[in-house]
Structures are given as C-alpha cells and as structure tokens.
Structure 1
Amino acid sequence: MFKLTGFQRDLLYAIAGHDRPSGQQLKDDLEAAFDGEITHGRLYPNLDTLVNRGYVEKGRVDRRTNYYVLSETGREALAARKEWEDGYLPFETSSGS
C-alpha cells in the first residue's frame, strides 16, 4: 500500500464507500472532494494500476461501463493502512470542546 500514490489510495477509499461504483461515479466523487476536475487520462490508468496490482477487481455492467470492487487484498491493505495511521493518530476527538 505504501507504493501507491495518494490518488490511488483515495480511489481505494472511494471504491470501498460504494457498492460496485462505475468509473464515472468515482470521478464525480473525487471531483467533489478535490474541488476540481479529474481527467479520464488520470482516473482510468490509476484504476488499471489498482486492478493490475490486485487491490481492485473490475467487472462489466455493459459494453461501455465497468464497475470496480475491492479485492480481499484491497480490503486487507485498507485495514492495515488504518491500523498504521491509528498508531500516529492515537487521540480521540470530542464534540463538546
């Protein structure tokens, strides 16, 4: 997971937050989060990298639309990343302070 770019990690989180999202759905979500345009030339090569590295599985909705889901490797990588991050962010937030 540490060999992924930040954008690729963001894609993993976005995929995890949906049930079989399309590339267009992921693009829309990330554009809203980044407050800017994500080009197809950036999105799809990064999705392909995640598929090729085994973090994501790609399926077909129809001739023009693919969907993406986390593989077991992808789920394990996100869980390991969260555990690593929690080691550096051990504090709890409170809503009343």
Structure 2
Amino acid sequence: MPPLHDYTALERDMCFLLAEHDDPSGHDLGDALDKLYSSGASQSSVYPVLKTLRSDGLVEKRASEGYGSAYVLTEEGREAVREYSEWVGGRVPEE
C-alpha cells in the first residue's frame, strides 16, 4: 500500500470522510464531498475513487441495511489516515 500522501487530494479526503462517518453509502460520500469542495465534487467521481481505494486495500465495501452498499476503512486504511495525520501535524507550525 502506498503512503496516503502519494494519493490525490480527492482520494485522501475520501479516506478522511470514511474515518469520520459510520458506514456511509457512495451517495452519502458524494454529498459530503459536495459540501467540502466549493466547486462541488461530482457524484460520478465517487465510485472510481472508491474502486481505487478498495483495490489498494484501504476501503472495504459492505452490504447496507438499506439500498446500495456501505463503505468502511480497512485496518490498513485507518493506519494510513493516522500516519498521514501525524505527518501533516508535524509540519504545521505551532503558534
């Protein structure tokens, strides 16, 4: 698995959204990205990103209680988010 800083901003943001939400659907993630980006993230960009993150072992797709699927970070995904957070946190100057 490549370190999270090797991924695109959208892929990293998707990982952080997954870390913050409980089993969101692809649609839920698209809505969250729309709120995050002023330009609005297209719902059509969500699933290719999830596919990349799944194939790299960072995200797992699960059956949802409702319609569609839910997505969660794998243990590797959670570790990647933690490591990236530490990496970024070490670069932000303290006031």
Query: Normalising by structure 2, what TM-score?
Result: 0.86
Give every structure 1 segment of 4 or more consecutive aligned residues whose post-TM-superposition deviation is greater than 6 Å: none
Contact 2:27 2:43 in 1 (8 A): no
Q: Secondary structure of 1:88's partner?
A: coil
- Structure 2 gaps of 5+ residues are none
Q: Secondary structure of 2:84's partner?
A: helix
Identity %: 37
* 2:17 alignment partner in structure 1: 14
* 2:28 alignment partner in structure 1: 25
Q: Secondary structure of 2:71's partner?
A: strand
Query: Normalising by structure 1, what TM-score?
Result: 0.85
Q: How many residues align?
A: 92
Contact 2:15 2:73 in 1 (8 A): yes
- Structure 1 gaps of 5+ residues are 93-97
Q: Secondary structure of 1:41's partner?
A: helix
